[in-house]
Amino acid sequence: MLIRDEPVHDFIVRDRMLLKKYKITVAAWNLSEVAYHAIMTTNDYGKNSSDDFLAYAVNEHILFREAISKRNYDATNREDILMRILVGLSQQQFWYQELLWIKEEFNRQVEILHKIPESICASKLFGFESFDEVFKEVLDMSIDDFRAVLMLLHALNMAKVDLSKVSLPQDVIKIHPSFTDNNLYNVIDFYSASYKDVRSSGFGIRENYLALKPIILTDQKAVVIPDAYLMAKKMADGPLWVIRDYFRSLPDKSSRNRFVNGYGYLFERYVDDMLKSQLSDDKYERIEEDKIDNRADYFIMTSKYRVIVELKSGILPMMAKKMYPDMATLKDYLEKLSEGLRQLDQTEKDFVDDNRETVKLLVHYEMLYMSDVLIRPYVVKAFLVGELNNERNIFFCDVGELEWMVSVLGSSESEFEEILARKILKQNDGLHNMEFRQMIPEITEMNNKYNHETLNHWQKQIPNLYEKVKSCDL
């Protein structure tokens, strides 16, 4: 499915008793669930796997899932049901259908965690000159080598099912200095879990445990990756979570908070570099800080519009990224986003512009998929009733959508203004409102130029690695 970029697979199984054939459909976003269910309820000391066995496991999982669904929805408040269903579905499913997002996040993370720290005094923010020091301590390699080995592991997974006895041939070793058996098995060990580990992880996290540890050490000593998509995603966000977990493990609170605060600064620098790269100086402006009022971060200007931009770098916790998100965790995250709306509102009040229409844009780093159509009205209703001076022209978008819109503005102000005009027109239309990501391609042929062309670290890292590994004798 991953190689074909088709995240749904049909296969035929036979019912030998009734002499009938049945078509079974498996979706990529169910792979980790089926694997988790199989690990929790079976062992692998029987016969080899087959399509018939997979069909049986999928059917068992569906029955189990129905019971879990009923239990979760019965326990959910009526006003939270829609939010819980749609956030859960989108976080579980949507990224499987858009593999381009993995490449975009890879490009972003290389810039934020590697290139920008190299250009600033990172030790003042994090206590390290670079994040290489973290990776040397945790995995005995640099952050760049870790990314390269993750790409190698992905390529190997595309070519070979069982990775337990892989020894890298010379043709692979010479591709990159980090490609050694020692580095490869360090990373495999880091992301591996036994059946016992999975079973003891607890029902709170369930199949999301495979998002943390996507490699399974079976009781038969095989090393397998039941969901290749989860392993591929590590190429993009793996380094970020290594660093986050390292800081969260530190003994004192001030050290633990160092990364959260520092990452916010790196995100601001990332957006600042992006604006400088794509726009002329008269198109954007950093908003001056105030000692009393918390203000937003940027103005982006056209002849018709002034866009006030507030950045939020918070990452949605794992407990909110599962099929049935923990509502307390999700609401805590959303309440932090509401603070950004207060900053946008205050900035509009402090800086009056009678010549252009004002748009207030809350830009969150996290991919929330339905952030403007679903989450924005929920946040306003849940946390901000009666607080804002002006609830009109408030929109949410993720950083990828901001990159795309800024790329459009750098090429065509009229198309950028058309995007805003259509968004303003549909802002209260629950049936026809669209996310920026859906709307932009209806208006322009411009792609996310900054991410895909200006950065494009993905293509520069190790070009054609999959083809090179596939041609080797493994």
Distance from C-alpha of 376 to C-alpha of 395, rounded to nearest angstrom: 7
In angstroms, the CA 368 to CA 299 distance is 23
Asked if 99 contacts 158 with a C-beta cutoff of 8 angstroms, the reply is no
Query: Are β-strands 298-301 and 305-312 bridged in parallel, bridged antiparallel, or unpaired?
Result: antiparallel
Residue 376 CA to residue 381 CA, distance in Å, equals 9
Query: Which mean pLDDT values do the consecutive 10-residue runs of the chain (474 residues) have?
Result: 90 71 86 90 69 77 81 82 91 93 97 93 88 96 96 93 89 94 96 95 84 93 94 96 94 88 96 98 94 92 98 93 90 97 97 97 96 95 94 97 98 98 90 91 97 94 88 78
Mapped onto helix, strand or coil, the DSSP state of residue 215 is: strand
Q: What are the respective helix, strand and coil percentages of the chain, to the nearest 5?
A: 60, 10, 30
Total number of residues shown for the chain: 474
Q: What's the confidence (pLDDT) of residue 49?
A: 63
- The reported pLDDT for the residue numbered 244 is 94
Tokens 């870790």 correspond to what residue? Answer: 146
Residue 389 exposed, middle or buried by CB count within 10 Å (0-12, 13-18, 19+): exposed
pLDDT in tens, 390-411: 999 999 999 999 999 999 999 9
Which residue type is seen at 317?
P
CB-count exposure of residue 312 (10 Å: 0-12, 13-18, 19+): buried
pLDDT digits 0-9 by tens, 140-197: 999 999 999 999 999 999 988 889 988 899 999 999 999 999 999 999 999 999 999 9
Q: In CATH, what number does 269-458 get? A: 3.40.91
Angle at 90 between CA 87 and CA 92, to 5 degrees: 105
d(CA 26, CA 386): 47
Query: What are the structural domain ranges in the chain?
Result: 8-95, 100-254, 269-458
Contact 91, 78 (CB under 8 A): no
Rounded to two decimals, what is the model's pTM? Answer: 0.93
CB-based contact 320:302 (threshold 8 Å): no
Site of tokens 């391609």: 441
